[in-house]
Copies of this chain bind each other. A is one copy, B any other.
């Protein structure tokens, strides 16, 4: 097993984790399989957390280098493909992959991906999931489906490591998806235009409508060039008609 190059290693993003112990165990599990890009969003008990170090059991470098963010969107700015781990059906129109298939896809891609893991008690919120292009579901006992956070992390890390040195480069002329930052720029641009036209009325439907739009625009995996073209399209539509 060769280590994946740091810049195409997927980021493991713990969203609002509750227990420092689980953060430490997640770090240990990642390093067990050669992964080092840990990101933490709004940890319940703040950061640093004194419980994380001891349960990392030697994976201190992962804990020390972990990046902390206030929101999930901020944690994903440089990522070009995002997977949300969840078991529940949410009525979201997104492809669903198991850890093996998702890992194969991540390894095949040459660009930065991220995997989102939700808080211990409740899992990811719909809002977090809507940032992702793909759902990652661990196939589990349907009558006992609550999996520990660090356990979910280790299963994904393990699958990512399998055959890491055996994969063959697949040549494709498909451009990498744009970063989440560029994607957010497009979503914001369109939303701002629509708001002026009263699209998000009545207000009690606004959140659902925003979510639908976000899903529609996240799905395509548009490249940076394509996003740039679409920003041009939007700017054009903001103009006055030509005579």
* A interface residues, Cβ below 8 angstroms from B: 1, 25, 28-29, 31-34, 57-59, 89, 91-98, 100, 135, 137-142, 144-148, 150-151, 154-155, 158, 161-162, 166-175, 190, 193-194, 196-199, 201, 212-213, 215-216, 219-223, 225-226, 229-230, 233, 236-237, 239-242
Contacts and interface: CB of A to CB of B under 8 A. Distances in A.
B197 A242 contact: yes
28 contacts: A29-B147, A32-B151, A34-B141, A58-B144, A89-B173, A92-B173, A93-B225, A96-B170, A96-B172, A135-B172, A140-B161, A141-B161, A142-B167, A150-B151, A155-B155, A193-B237, A194-B236, A197-B240, A197-B241, A197-B242, A201-B242, A216-B222, A216-B230, A219-B220, A219-B222, A219-B226, A220-B220, A237-B237
Contact of A166 (B57, B141, B170, B239): B141
Contact of A32 (B25, B141, B166, B237): B141
How many copies of the polypeptide does the oligomer hold?
2
B169 A139 contact: yes
Contact of A199 (B139, B144, B199, B236): B236
A-side interface mostly? loop
A166 to B, nearest CB: 6
Contact of A229 (B100, B135, B216): B216
Contacts of A59: 144
A223 B230 CA distance: 20
Given A58-B144, A197-B239, A93 B167 contact: no
Contacts of A93: 173-175, 223, 225-226
A191 B36 CA distance: 46
A139 B155 contact: no
A12 to B, nearest CB: 14
Contacts of A220: 216, 219-220, 222
A1 to B, nearest CB: 6
Nearest to A3: B141
Contacts of A171: 89, 96
A153 to B, nearest CB: 9
